[in-house]
Amino acid sequence: MATLTLIDIIQDIHAMDEELWHYESRYGLRSRYFYELYQMGKLRDEDPRESRDYADWAACYDIRRHREELYDRLVAATLQWVQPQQRVSLADLRLTLQPEAIPARL
């Protein structure tokens, strides 16, 4: 099973942002609203190119959402160990987070 590090997750998020921007600029619609329409089956599918774009766009959006969830869970799990009055270095947190490997779902 493949694993993802924190850096992998961040890189995936940025890569998906670039892909999503490509579709958003082409169709003039933010991904969140596109995905709602896509999930409800409200998009026409006569044009094969558009249908392919829709499937790819939805996949990119799913991957980005999944990576954001993984990132949030990983950071939250690490931050729970920081005491209320404790000050931490981001470099120290990065050292704590970096070796973490988590299962990849997508």
pTM for this model (two decimals): 0.79
Domain residue spans of the chain: 3-103
Closest CA to 8 of 65, 71, 72: 71
Residue 105 has pLDDT above 60, yes or no: no
Rg (CA), the chain: 18
pLDDT tens digit string along 12-34?
999 999 999 999 999 999 999 99
